Structure 1
Amino acid sequence: MSTVDQEVSPPPNVNDPAIYDWYREMRDNHPVYQDPVTKWWVVYRYADARQVLTNPGTYSSEMHRMGFPETGLESLPQMDPPRHTRVRQILGTAFTPHSIASFEPQIIRITNEIIDELIDKKRVDLLHELAYTVPIGVILEVLGLPAEDRPLFYDFARRVMEVTPEEMAQPDFAEALGSLQQGAVSYLRERVRERKGKTNDDMLTRLANAELNGDRLTEDETVNFANVMFAGGHISTTMTIANAVDLLDLNPDAQAEVRADPGLLPDTIEEVLRHRPPITTGLRASTREVELGGVTIPANQHVAASFCSANRDERQFPDPEAFDIHRKSEGRHFGFGYGTHHCIGNALGRLEGRLVMKVLHERFREIAVDRDAAVWALPPQMVGFDQLPVELTPA
């Protein structure tokens, strides 16, 4: 059976609220559907999406299966087990819960320093003036890189996130992406070589010298993971921070609760990630013909798990359209991916989200979103804003 020929209305923009009614229609009537434009098989129900994200033998992350050339730039998100397992285990020796928790003072300091520059302004674009700058500043400091190098990674990350699904479906996409990455990759390669054999207390040094039972990361693996931290990690955190500000502004009762009890922030960030995940889809490649959701997907096809739809699936989450900061959904939603490729930097992203919101609430007694002037992000793989103007009232 195939649903590609069944009539389906075109989807609204991913940042149009009408998209959620469209997702519900797809979950009910077209749970696995081949998009006529991209030719991706998009999976809309939670249970089916979980199948895609947890079965790498059938749904591979190695995009060279789709005819993309192997460029030597493959990184953790593009690996399958056992290669992925090996690299992730070695990374785990450097990216420990203790090491992530130790960054709390830096995150608070960087957030306060950026707010100090904004405190006298009554109106700011919170996305560009804080939600972008804090994560980049944090990652630079975590990796032990100078703050003046921020523009290189800011520009690269923005360009990566502006790539459309139509561009990704082109045969020369991997080559084009490799060319786009060259500046950042060359810079990081030099820094990795500088840190080999050193004992500096920064994440790049730990990665360059990470070892598990005598096994070390190759230079390419180290460089590519550091690159992923910039390209993916900072964008996800940026969108999470901006979405948290907007969703709390839209839900004043929840806002008041969180301000009165910062201990609610962990569950609040989880609900932000469920309700409005920063990245829309998890893309895989089918390794064989497979039936999913009553649909037969041929081998060597793009299969995209829709995080936005799955996170609103009423089969998994009661009253899924409600923004409920008391919902216990950590470990179940797809806000930072799921399964084998659950984001290894998720703990850092969650920590940044909680701490930035805590500092914002301490420094400002009111953060009012100018909804008429806000501009949603256009790239279809991001959920969030391109501009988020707010009126600030200092505490």
Structure 2
Amino acid sequence: MADQSVAAPPFFADGGPALYTWMRNARDNTPVMFDEPSQSWKIYRYEDVHRVLSDWEVFSNDMCRVIPEHGFTRGNLSTMDPPEHKQLRGVVAQGFTPRTLAQLTPKIEELVKELLDAVEDRDEIDIARDLSYQLPLNVISTLIGVPREDRGVLQRTADAQLALTCENPTNGDFVVQVQKAMEELQAYIKELSAERRANPQDDVISKLATATVQDRSLDEEEVVNFTVLLLLAGHLTTMSLLGNMMLTLSEHPDQLAEVRANRDLVPDAIEEVLRYRTPVPEGGRVTNRDVELGGTVIPANKMVLCSLISANRDERKYPNPDKFDIRRDPNPQLAFTTGIHYCLGAHLARLEAGIALNTILDRYAEFTLTGLEWYPTYALCNLKRLTFDVRRT
């Protein structure tokens, strides 16, 4: 097998243009390639990415075969295939129903107002620190059932995750870093799940702690791992969406003005942000057998990393893909992936983003970008700092 590896892609230091140029070249010349540093096959075109994410029988979600054991696999929905995946997803999906989200809406509105009230006396605000980080942390904690006074443990784990810079998920040292970052949160969730098993409440962790899957109860490790996954995914990915949304709209003042004048455009603007600045760079799978993709044969039992960023910028799928266009239609973006592993919290993320954007537009007549800084992590496209000068309505 020929070595098809090429130089690593640039990061977001320039806001993305160098990365997007690199990925256009990859789509044109090496759309399916073996990447030596990560020991994985990288996929860059929309149709190939869509196929990998859709075909779970060929492209498995069970990555335990290629990632060293790290104590975070059992009960982790992101490493499961059917039938276990469907059954466990069905249990937790009860916490993400339209009825549950409707009941959560006033709480989200209250949280956004509370967070912005806390910086009411400032002419410059940091959206990344003061809103994007805090809002989803508190929303997902409420949904899961983590009391407000205990949320510091999630914050410390999230900070440790955001500090991870290694881009090779099969690297043993990286796995150790991940495990160390999560140990405190796992220990806390272990205690909380035992409490909920004995005294269930109306929250997701209680549903997991008392659930029956395949005629058996979930054990402690499964409940802990699944809850940790939900907490981190529900916090960090939505954090990314919120920051990216405010940055992108500020860069396109004409379209921001359209959204301000017509709030019916808010959902379309959010969808275009998800395409234009995708929160999660890659989605991983493992081949169950040798498979041909894009004219290249990928052997069995190999990690496949689909570039969601590149797929969402593929000129074969989208006219003028590097243009931000809130009226883009259709917009079948893959930010939340697709198929049976479609992001469970996608509707919640959209809800939070919509409430946050509407509240900001109501409160501020103008906001002018003054500075930004990206987290140096390959796992998420997240802003560490995003400051604006603001003028109130």
The alpha carbon displacement at 1:274 in A equals 0.7
Cα offset, 1:279, TM superposition = 0.7
* Conserved 8 A contact 2:66-2:170: no
Cα deviation 1:29-56 (Å, max 9, x = unaligned): 1101112322221100011011211122
Contact 2:32/2:42 (8 A) holds in 1: yes
Please give the residue correspondences for 1:28-39 in structure 2 after superposition, counting only pairs within 5 Å: 28-39=28-39
- Give the SS at the match of 1:284: strand
| Residue 335 of structure 2: aligned partner | 335
1:114-148, Cα deviation, whole Å (9 max, x unpaired): 11111111112210111101111112222332222
Instruction: State the match for 1:228 in structure 2.
Output: 229
The C-alpha deviation readout for 1:357-390, integer Å capped at 9, x for no partner, is 11111111112111xx311221122224221111
The number of equivalent residue pairs is: 390
Matched AA of 2:224:
V
What aligned pairs does 1:140-179 form with structure 2 within 5 A after superposition? 140-171=141-172, 173-179=174-180
Q: Does the residue aligned with 2:151 lie in a helix, a strand or coil?
A: helix
Q: Distance in 1 between matches of 2:44 and 2:162?
A: 22
Indicate whether 1:299 and 2:300 are aligned. Answer: yes
Q: Within 5 A, what are the aligned runs for 1:359-378? A: 359-370=359-370, 373-378=371-376
Shift of 1:189: 1.9
Q: Secondary structure at the match of 2:366?
A: strand
When residues 67 and 390 of structure 1 are mapped into structure 2, their CA distance, relative to the original with a 3 A threshold, is closer
2:101 aligns to what?
100
Corresponding residue for residue 205 of structure 1: 206
Q: CA separation of 1:115/1:72 partners in 2, compared to 1, >3 Å: closer, same or farther?
A: closer
CA RMSD of aligned residues (A): 2.2
- 1:238 Cα offset (Å): 0.7
Long gaps (5+) in structure 2: none
User: What are the Cα deviations for residues 173-226 of structure 1, in whole angstroms up to 9, with x where unaligned?
Assistant: 445533432211121122122222645333333443346897654443333232
User: SS of the counterpart of 1:288?
Assistant: coil
Aligned counterparts of 1:263 and 1:213: Cα–Cα separation in 2? 44
Deviation at 1:233, TM superposition (A): 1.6
**Conserved 8 A contact 1:127-1:242:** yes
Tell me whether 1:61 sits opposite 2:58 in the alignment.
no
Distance 1:285 1:164 in 2: 22
Structure 1 residues 174 and 79: CA distance shift in structure 2, 3 A: farther
Cα shift readout 1:271-292 (whole Å, capped 9, x = no counterpart): 1111111110001222222221
> Contact 2:375/2:384 (CA < 8 Å) preserved in 1?
yes
How far did 1:167 drift? 4.8
Specify the SS of the correspondent of 1:103.
helix
Q: Aligned equivalents of 1:357 and 1:67: distance in 2?
A: 38
Matched, 1:273 2:237: no
Fraction of identical pairs, as percent:
35
Mapped to 1, the partners of 2:306 and 2:273 lie a distance apart of 19
TM (norm. structure 2) is: 0.92
